[in-house]
Every structure is written in C-alpha cells, then in structure tokens.
C-alpha cells in the first residue's frame, strides 16, 4: 500500500522543464529516496508534493485522496538550505514552528525541552539562534522538523553541510522515525547514503523518472551477470576476453559484466591465475552508483 502517490507531475520555469511527467509511489513505513544529480528536479518535485509550488499538471494523492492544505500539518520538512530567525530564542523558534503545524500548549513545550535535552541543548533554550554554533543550529532545525510528531518526514538533501556528528545524529533520527512507522522521504545525490538507508528509491534525471522500485528488486534486476571487484594488479588481459561483456571503472571499484551468469566463477579463476590480488569479489552485486551510471550512461557526481 502506498502512503503517497505522485502522478504525472509537471513543472516548467519559462522554457526550462524542471519536472517532466514524474510518477512514483511511496510505500507505508518505508524510507524512500529520491535520487538524482543536482538540478535533476528533486527539490521542485518535493516542493510540489508539499504544495509550495503548484504543479503545471499532475496530482499527489495521500492514501488515495488528493492532498489538501491540511497535508502540510502532517509533514515535517527539512529543506536543503536551512535557516532560522537569527534573533529568535531557541525554544520560541521551536514552539513557533510547531504552532504553525497546529501543535501548541504545554505538551509541545515539554516535548521541545525533552528533545533539547536529548540533543544536549537544554542549557541553550533561552539563547538566541545567532548565538549558537552552526552545528547546534542544525540540531534546532532537526527538532523543528519532528517536534510536531509528523506522519511524514521530508528531507531535502539532508546531509549537505552537516558535520560527521550531526550526520550520525540525523541518521539515528531517521532510523528512529522508521521504527515508529513514519514515512521518510529524502532526496539526495549521495548514492552511498541512499543505498545504506533507503528501502525504496526513485531515480530522476533531467526532470524524468529513470527507474523506480524497491532497492532489493532493483539490485537483483541490475546485479545479474554483474561483478563488483576490488583488486590490485594488472587486468588488461580481460579486455576483449570472450566471457566479458563490458568493464566499467568506478574509481574505487570495477564493475564487470559477464556474458552469462554462470561465468562469474570462471572470471574469479582467471583473476587468480593471472596473479591479480582480489580484495573484494561481489558476484551478482551492484551498487546504486553503478546502477545510476548504467541507466544514465553518465558519471554521477561522486562526492566520496
């Protein structure tokens, strides 16, 4: 069952088609990744899902019903570029954003303080935002995203600009939300994170959906006849070898596609026979990064 259904969304800015007939479903209780390079149309799609932009065409359905303005109250949103009122106090900021989501009163205040304690900010609740370090401001933003107990959490490039501590903190928050059965949607251009966190993904490029589905299914579909190799030594003998269909270099790993699934053992033997030191040999395994390159035929922006 899909919690959210995006159907045929389109959006143009002048002559630029930012989002072109995008459709996908977000299953209940999943971590859903919207994946693509910068400028692929991820943020525009998310903004349309949130009703920040009106789509030129297409609709978004929440459990079978067209979304309304009330949907906004059910969503916790963390935009890519995050800002807060500099002169506002930490606790006031949290309560203001919660109130805009329709939650106010003692209960929310108690919860806000609880979160601040959890994130080691309890002593700063009366500080102005501008007096906080950037890392601590990000923590306040995380709390503002989830304080009103949203059913859906939408994170746009959540890991950009985070230090390692906050990156881990956010990962914990995401996994914690998943345990509570919340639907988490995030967009990212970082394939590694998506691969580790998501159950389902939709990959978009130049405003169009390239592929969509559960990560497991996609991997088994694209992973057939595929070997992910980590090695040292000379492998030039594999060029034009009869069992090899093609070889792609992803930097840290090599993606090798054999002609027939039964030939993977033969490939391993060949490597050992040619004194190639094999560090990792993953048969029928493919990374999201490799899938991306496979479907786009282009190198992604690999940050790592």
Partner 1 sequence: MFSKKTLIVIKRELRDKLFSKTFILMTVLIPVFLFGVLGIQTFLMSFESDSGSQLAIISENIDLTEKLQSAFNEAPIVKSGSYKVTFETQTKARFDAYLDESKKSILDGKLTGIVFIPQKAEQDKKVEYYSKNPNNNTLFNKTRNIINQALIDLYFTGRNLSAEDITFARESVDFSSYRVSSDEKIEEEGFGNQVLAFLFTFLLYFSLIFLGTMMMRAVVEEKNNRIVELLLSSISSKELMTGKILGNGITGLIQMAIWLLPVIVLISSSIFVLPAEFILKINLVHIVYFLFNFFIGLITFLGLFATVGAIFDNDQDAQSGVWPIMILIMIPFFISIAMLSNSENPIATVASMVPFASIIVMPARMTIIEVPLWQFALAVVVNVGTLLLIFPAAGKIYRVGILMTGKKPKWSEIIKWLKYKY
Contact residues for partner 1, defined by CB under 8 A: 14, 47, 50-54, 56, 69, 72-73, 75, 77, 79, 81-88, 96-97, 99-101, 144, 154
Name which of 150 and 223 has its Cβ closer to partner 1. 150
Name which of 47 and 111 has its Cβ closer to partner 1. 47
Name which of 31 and 75 has its Cβ closer to partner 1. 75
d(CA 3, CA 82): 26
Please give the DSSP secondary-structure letter assigned to residue 14: T
Name which of 102 and 233 has its Cβ closer to partner 1. 102
d(CA 218, CA 207): 20
Please give the DSSP secondary-structure letter assigned to residue 128: B
Name which of 74 and 294 has its Cβ closer to partner 1. 74
Smallest gap, in angstroms, from Cβ of residue 153 to partner 1? Answer: 11
Q: How far is CA 245 from the centre of its chain?
A: 31
Smallest gap, in angstroms, from Cβ of residue 282 to partner 1? Answer: 40
Residue closest to 42 by CA, chosen among 152, 198, 204 = 204
* Residues 3 and 178: beta-carbon distance below 8 Å: no
Q: Indicate the angle between helix axes 90-100 and 106-118, nearest 10 degrees.
A: 130
Burial class (CB in 10 A: 0-12, 13-18, 19+), 120: exposed
Name which of 49 and 201 has its Cβ closer to partner 1. 49
Instruction: Give 176-244 as a 3 state SS string.
Output: HHHHCCCEEEEEECCHHHHHHHCCEEEEEECCEEEEEEEHHHHHHHHHCCEEEEEEECCCHHHCCCCCE
Name which of 146 and 268 has its Cβ closer to partner 1. 146
Alpha-carbon Rg of the chain, whole angstroms? 22
Tell me how far CA of residue 179 lies from CA of 27, 48, 92, in angstroms.
Answer: 15, 27, 29
Name which of 75 and 293 has its Cβ closer to partner 1. 75
Residue where the block lists tokens 């928050």 = 173
Phi, psi of 47 (to 5 degrees): -60, -35
What are the structure tokens assigned to 120, written together? 């080691």
């Amino acid at each position: 069952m899909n919690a959210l259904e995006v159907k045929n969304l389109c959006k143009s800015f002048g002559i630029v088609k930012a989002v072109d007939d995008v459709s996908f479903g977000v299953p209940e209780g999943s971590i859903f990744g919207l994946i693509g390079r910068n400028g692929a149309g991820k943020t525009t799609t998310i903004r349309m899902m949130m009703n920040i932009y009106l789509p030129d065409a297409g609709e978004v359905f929440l459990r079978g019903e067209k979304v309304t303005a009330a949907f906004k109250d059910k969503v916790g949103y963390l935009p890519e570029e995050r800002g807060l009122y500099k002169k506002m106090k930490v606790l006031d900021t949290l309560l203001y954003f919660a109130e805009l989501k329709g939650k106010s009163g003692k209960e929310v205040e108690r919860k806000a303080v609880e979160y601040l304690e959890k994130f080691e900010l309890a002593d700063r609740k009366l500080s102005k935002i501008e007096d906080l370090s950037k890392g601590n401001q990000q923590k306040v933003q995380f709390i503002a995203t989830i304080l009103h107990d949203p059913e859906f959490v939408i994170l746009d490039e959540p890991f950009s600009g985070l230090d390692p501590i906050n990156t881990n903190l956010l990962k914990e928050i995401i996994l914690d939300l998943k345990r509570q059965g919340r639907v988490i949607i995030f967009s990212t251009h970082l394939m590694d994170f998506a691969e580790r966190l998501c159950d389902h993904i939709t990959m978009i490029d130049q405003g169009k959906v390239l592929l969509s589905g559960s990560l497991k299914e996609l991997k088994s579909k694209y992973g057939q006849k595929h070997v992910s190799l980590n090695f040292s030594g000379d492998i030039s003998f594999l060029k034009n070898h009869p069992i090899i269909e093609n070889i792609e270099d992803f930097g840290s790993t090599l993606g090798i596609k054999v002609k027939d699934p039964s030939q993977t053992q033969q490939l391993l033997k060949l490597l050992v026979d040619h004194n190639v030191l094999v560090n990792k040999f993953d048969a029928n395994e493919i990374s999201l990064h490799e899938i991306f390159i496979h479907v786009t035929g282009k190198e992604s922006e690999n940050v790592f």
